[in-house]
Chain A
Amino acid sequence: MKKDDTLIKIRDLTVTYHTRQGLVSAVDHISFNVKRGEILGLVGESGCGKSTMGKALMRMIPPPATITAEEYLFDGMDVMSFNDDQLRDFRGRRISMIFQDPLTSLNPVQRVDEHIMEAIQVHEKKTTTSNALRRAKKLIGRLGIKEDRLASYPHQLSGGMRQRVMIGLGLVLNASLIVADEATTSLDVIVEAKLVDQLREIRDEFGVAILAISHNIALVAQLADRVAVMYAGHLVEMGQASEVFHDPLHPYTRGLMKSVPNIKVDELVELYKMGGEPPNLAHPPEGCRFHPRCPNAMPICGQIQPWITQKSSGHVVECWLYQDDLPKDGMQE
């Protein structure tokens, strides 16, 4: 990968929450890159740490929880070294986030134009109101919302429109990355499908990278260029969408792909039934965190945690099955 392509470079990102049951690493030593203008899908089941991951990218992890990283470069800047002022500028201007329910993210007593103008004027203090309004109008048109909607309040908009306003708040300052955490989940299926199209169009038009966090694997298949799979705080597999879906490597990904209902399959293939449930992260299993549920578990899996290895170009996996270079027999003793 050329250096210019890389928007985000993360090495060993760890987020630790303090709970009554002890320390919980919701994100445990994760390393990955995000390229400029790509749509990266992040999938996993509830509690796997995918939302924490999204927040960690914005450094929105309130104490006493801690966030550490060997390296977190955003467009070459060292995000971990930012002070509060730099962080505030970073959030909103460079990276923006949209959540599942836009109605709780938007201010109910503020009109759409006020939202957008506020976003501009908070970050670019010198912008005049008329100038900000002009930019708001231009932006809203590009998002496929009629200009007269600028005077509407959030409750007067449909669900899909609200979500587009949220996206607009990120785009108005030319953010390089939008973190979309379950952004389509509360929408009906037809509106959701349209938003998927729009997210791809927005990426093409604005060149913004999108991190699409979702539990809906089928949706990510429709949206993402690359896909990352998380399990119990670990990034277990990552690669081009077609590789991860058609040639999944990790036993968890394989099981996951076979348990997603597919409306297009004509003959009724039975859904795969994965045994067990994700572990409690306060007491994660020794070794690989998936080994108690893994159909391919070997003795070593319960002893030593595997690390991420490259299987083919751009397709990485964290599983002992693929670490050929290691003396498996020797390590079992």
Chain B
Amino acid sequence: MNTPKQIPDDNLVVIKGLKKWFPVQKDMLDQLIAGHTDYVRAVDGVTLDIHRGECFGLAGESGSGKSTIGRLVIGLETPTEGSINFDGIDFSKLKPEELRKLRRRMQVIFQDPMASLNPRLSLGDAVIEGLQIHYPEKKKEHRDMVLSIFEKVGLVPATYFFNKYPHQISGGQRQRVVIARALVTCPDLVLADEPIAMADVSVRALLLDLMVQLKKEFNLTYLFITHDLATAKYICDRIGVLYLGRMAEQGDLREVYTHPLHPYTHALLAAVPVPDPNLRRTETMPEGEIPNPINPPSGCRFHPRCPIVEAVCSKEEPELRELRPGHFAACHFAERYL
């Protein structure tokens, strides 16, 4: 079912200097009245690789740019600056028709399955749509392909679910349909943007487990976007921590969690509530909240909230440096945490 892949190199996705600025004054008139254009710097210079077969987690608070990076990676947005390579193919050089063909290989799972599914399409029809677009030549096999993917995601009996509508099934089952729809075109990369944030605790564990299983079975690569660091731990191999459109820290998940090298990551990890009343947090939290991305702070963006801030931090923006093999941090004083 899955096409065998040549392995030219380890990286499925290579992102270099990626920027996405959204204009605040959208139309000409607003720009004229304001006399200038402000930009929300949602993503402001991010470089990262996603290895084949791994689950790369992007974590950060709201407004950190994690979802925008996801949308850029699958070509839903065009970058303001920088490049994205998917399997050696540069997005910016593709004609729309070629990009559309490439889309078969990248699929997406969003947070809210009710919003992702058309309420007037039966579940079977919703999943068949992708096949009609990407595999029109296999028309006769479509139904069987959908039934088989339904079974793989645990929607059994598949023929029962095929004719149901989204409102007739539970939230957990709906997210399974969305997963089935993503996988039916045999993608290489799956963008999962907060895929389990809506689900209840007892359903979450099941969905996480399903995603791990399917990753193995279909040889998938995940870009897993989440604000929940505790959940990321159960699925991600590597993780990138974003702050205001910049990568603060990046590396092997276990390494980042046990030896964080950026003060922001320290704070973020300490803030995650632990389900144990005897292990209550004692660390104090940084002051304030995420600043406005239209006018990000000068120098290091975290400096107004940073517990180890020094004079240089407000002047020079720190580079993302490799401080241990494969473990990067963008902090002038990251060595202190080594």
Q: Give residues in A with beta carbon < 8 Å to B.
A: 45-46, 158-160, 188-194, 196-197, 215-219, 221-222, 224, 241-242, 245-246, 255-257, 259-264, 266, 268, 271-274, 277-278
Q: Is the CB of B275 within 8 A of A218?
A: yes
Q: Is the CB of A193 within 8 A of B277?
A: no
Other than the given A189-B271, A222-B273, A273-B205, 20 more pairs (CB < 8 A) read A190-B289, A193-B270, A193-B271, A194-B285, A215-B201, A218-B272, A219-B273, A246-B276, A259-B201, A259-B202, A259-B204, A260-B201, A261-B230, A261-B231, A261-B233, A263-B272, A271-B208, A271-B209, A273-B202, A273-B206
Q: Is the CB of A268 within 8 A of B279?
A: no
Question: Which chain B positions have C-beta within 8 A of A217?
Answer: 201, 275
> Could you write out 20 A-B pairs with CB less than 8 Å apart?
A158-B288, A188-B227, A189-B229, A190-B289, A193-B271, A194-B285, A215-B201, A218-B273, A242-B277, A245-B275, A245-B278, A246-B276, A255-B202, A256-B201, A259-B204, A263-B229, A263-B230, A263-B233, A263-B274, A274-B206
Q: Smallest CB–CB gap between B227 and chain A, Å? A: 7
Q: Give residues in B with beta carbon < 8 Å to A.
A: 61-62, 170, 172, 200-206, 208-209, 227-231, 233-234, 257-258, 267-281, 285-286, 288-290
Q: A189-B268, A190-B271, A271-B205 are in contact. Are A222 and B170 (CB under 8 A)?
A: no
Q: Which of A159, A241, A257, A262 contacts B289 (CB 8 A)?
A: A159
Q: Smallest CB–CB gap between B168 and chain A, Å? A: 12
Give A151 to B278 CA distance when docked, in angstroms: 41
Q: Is the CB of A189 within 8 A of B227?
A: yes
Of B227, B231, B268, B285, most buried by chain A (CB within 10 Å of CB) is: B285
Q: Which of B172, B204, B257, B277 contacts A263 (CB 8 A)?
A: B257
Give A110 to B28 CA distance when docked, in angstroms: 33
Give A31 to B270 CA distance when docked, in angstroms: 36
Q: Smallest CB–CB gap between B70 and chain A, Å? A: 18
Q: Is the CB of B172 within 8 A of A277?
A: yes
Q: Smallest CB–CB gap between B63 and chain A, Å? A: 9
Q: Smallest CB–CB gap between A150 and chain B, Å? A: 19
Question: Which chain B positions have C-beta within 8 A of A273?
Answer: 202, 205-206, 209
Q: Which of A45, A159, A222, A245 contacts B202 (CB 8 A)?
A: A45
Give A63 to B77 CA distance when docked, in angstroms: 48
Q: A262-B276, A268-B234 are in contact. Are A215 and B205 (CB under 8 A)?
A: no
CB nearest to A259 among chain B residues: B205
Q: Smallest CB–CB gap between B288 and chain A, Å? A: 8
Q: Is the CB of A242 within 8 A of B278?
A: yes
Q: A217-B201, A222-B277, A256-B201 are in contact. Are A190 and B231 (CB under 8 A)?
A: no
Q: Is the CB of B274 within 8 A of A264?
A: yes
Give A217 to B205 CA distance when docked, in angstroms: 14
CB nearest to B201 among chain A residues: A259
The 4 residue pairs across chains A and B that have the minimum distance between CB atoms: A218-B273, A271-B205, A45-B200, A188-B61
Q: How many inter-chain residue pairs (CB < 8 Å) link A and B?
A: 119
Q: Which of A190, A196, A246, A271 contacts B286 (CB 8 A)?
A: A190
Q: Smallest CB–CB gap between B111 and chain A, Å? A: 14
Q: Smallest CB–CB gap between B281 and chain A, Å? A: 6
Q: Is the CB of B273 within 8 A of A193?
A: yes
Question: Which chain B positions have C-beta within 8 A of A278?
Answer: 200
Q: Smallest CB–CB gap between A159 and chain B, Å? A: 7
Of B203, B234, B268, B273, most buried by chain A (CB within 10 Å of CB) is: B273
CB nearest to B305 among chain A residues: A190
Question: Which chain B positions have C-beta within 8 A of A257?
Answer: 275
Give A268 to B258 CA distance when docked, in angstroms: 13
Q: A193-B281, A222-B273 are in contact. Are A272 and B205 (CB under 8 A)?
A: yes
CB nearest to A191 among chain B residues: B289
Q: Is the CB of B269 within 8 A of A221?
A: no
Q: Is the CB of B269 within 8 A of A263?
A: yes
Q: Is the CB of B205 within 8 A of A274?
A: yes
Give A45 to B205 CA distance when docked, in angstroms: 13
Q: Is the CB of A190 within 8 A of B285?
A: yes
Question: Which chain B positions have C-beta within 8 A of A245?
Answer: 275-278
CB nearest to A277 among chain B residues: B170
Q: Smallest CB–CB gap between B303 and chain A, Å? A: 16
Question: Which chain A positions have C-beta within 8 A of B268?
Answer: 189-190
Q: Is the CB of A264 within 8 A of B202?
A: no
Give A202 to B200 CA distance when docked, in angstroms: 30
CB nearest to B200 among chain A residues: A45
Give A218 to B273 CA distance when docked, in angstroms: 5
